[in-house]
Amino acid sequence: MSDHGIFISEETIEGDGDGPLADKTVAVKDNISTEGVRTTCGSEMLADYVPPYDATVVERLKDAGATIVGKANMDEFGMGSTTETSAFGPVENPAAEGRVPGGSSGGSAAAVAAGEADLALGSDTGGSVRNPAAFCGVVGIKPTYGLVSRYGLVAYANSLEQIGPLAPTVEGAAELLDVIAGEDPQDATTRDEGTDSDYAAAADGDVDGLDIGVPTNLVDGADEGVVEAFWSAMDDLEDRGATYHEVELPSVEHAVEAYYVIATSEASSNLARFDGVRYGHRADAEGNWNEEFAQTRKEGFGEEVKRRVLLGTYALSAGYHDKYYKKAQDARAWVKQDFDEALAEADVLASPTMPVPPFERGESLDDPLQMYLADANTVPVNLADLPAISVPAGETDGLPVGVQFVGSAFDEETIIRAGSALA
Ligand code: GLN
């Protein structure tokens, strides 16, 4: 294990030739498949799993000439906001001693913040690229659903997640997005968008005339120091020719509840494949099939994963399905509609990425609900399938603060442009 607990494996994977990333090193989150290199998802269940194929994004990195320098540590199966639930130990925040790096792509963000890699890939189901970017003082992009192939990404909640880039600068993250974006016949949810993109060119810092909507209910509840840093970033943008005004997003009050029902329901179904027969760990148990299956999962999964599988199984069970899962889907439709309306009145929406500064280590392990509530500003974007970027925007008491810009579907350029005026 490297410094700060950043990498789970440090095997180098060389790229081919001299493409656009020929001089770049990249850390890849350990839920993204790498042929011949262990891919653990931060779990005991997959501690010895070696994929027989590359994820599409890994193929694209290799074709672009990048050198992959390691598989980055993460919350087990992407479930968390602190990178403390990995079976391989926690990751430290290189930008804030004694604090968590955020999660679940904490290893990816820390790799970039500590200079262990030029760029990194994470995955974002409910904030897992943007949250660690904000906590570690780096840039992270959650692409529009369908812009980046999920082929080879181990699924947590597949209707919500996208692979996304992290980098010290907006331009770096945009360059990496240029390489990984675009339709993939292996992932039928990808769209014919982004294949010939030039997102890096959009990182020109030109926000003259940009109309920014601020959903105040995503600002007012945040920590005082975070709110101050946020408004000071808005003032910077105003000085550069942008304008901002308030917009309404009433549905986001229900987003955390809806997200945790949908995400855990999908997780309970996706993680059923870890049965000790087809993948990973198998308990050395005596007994019938059910007993072996139960023992395998009891040993292979950590506490947080078990909690989510149980929650999701309950939400999907006969008699409760309409009460929880269907209601959550209705809330998701409402969130989408709210964003569409707000984005009809503004070019981008802005809010703090996280309502709080990085948690102290250990703080949220005993209080998962508190941790879930801190996802209030990131999960609505996944429910709405939209693109968002988190960029560093100053500090509160020496701790990094991130500002998030949300754009219309497949309009990555505008959020990149807005972000590049700040970082
Ligand atoms: N914190 C959220 C969760 O635990 C987001 C995780 C993610 O985006 N993978 O589900």
Give pLDDT tens digits along the chain (423 positions): 457 899 999 999 999 988 999 999 999 999 999 999 999 999 999 999 999 999 999 999 999 999 999 999 999 999 999 999 999 999 999 999 999 999 999 999 999 999 999 999 999 999 999 999 999 999 999 999 999 999 999 999 999 999 999 999 999 999 999 999 999 999 999 999 999 899 999 999 999 999 999 999 999 999 999 999 999 999 999 999 999 999 999 999 999 999 999 999 999 999 999 999 988 899 988 889 899 999 999 999 999 999 999 999 999 998 998 999 999 999 999 999 999 999 999 999 999 999 999 999 998 888 888 899 999 999 999 999 999 999 999 999 999 999 999 999 999 999 999 999 998
Angle between helix axes 303-316 and 255-270 (nearest 10 degrees) is 100
Closest CA to 134 of 402, 394, 357, 393: 402
Closest approach atom of ligand 1 to CA 124: 8
Asked about 128 being catalytic, the answer comes back as: yes
Are the C-beta atoms of residues 302 and 85 closer than 8 Å to each other?
Answer: yes
**Set 2, 43, 81, 104: catalytic member:** 104
- Respond yes or no on whether the N-terminal peptide bond of residue 317 is cis (omega within 30° of 0): no
Q: Counting Cβ atoms within 10 Å, is residue 166 exposed (0-12), middle (13-18) or buried (19+)?
A: buried
Characterize 193-210 residue by residue with b for buried, 16 or more Cβ atoms within 10 angstroms of its Cβ, and e for exposed.
bbeebebbebbebebeeb
Asked about 104 being catalytic, the answer comes back as: yes
CB distance 263 to ligand 1 below 6 Å: yes
Are the C-beta atoms of residues 356 and 226 closer than 8 Å to each other?
Answer: yes
CB distance 122 to ligand 1 below 6 Å: no
**Tokens of residue 189, six digits:** 């949810």
Nearest-CA residue for ligand 1 atom 5 is: 126
CB distance 125 to ligand 1 below 6 Å: yes
**Tokens of residue 63, six digits:** 């074709």
**Which pTM was predicted?**
0.98
**Set 29, 62, 71, 142: catalytic member:** 29
Confidence at residue 149, expressed as pLDDT on a 0 to 100 scale: 98
CB distance 124 to ligand 1 below 6 Å: yes
CB distance 378 to ligand 1 below 6 Å: no
CB distance 383 to ligand 1 below 6 Å: no
Closest CA to 123 of 200, 39, 53: 39
Instruction: Tell me, in angstroms, the distance from the centre of ligand 1 to residue 252's CA.
Output: 17
Closest approach atom of ligand 1 to CA 128: 8
Nearest-angstrom CA–CA distance, 151 and 320: 32
Nearest-angstrom CA–CA distance, 352 and 343: 17
**Set 128, 149, 364, 390: catalytic member:** 128
Confidence at residue 1, expressed as pLDDT on a 0 to 100 scale: 45
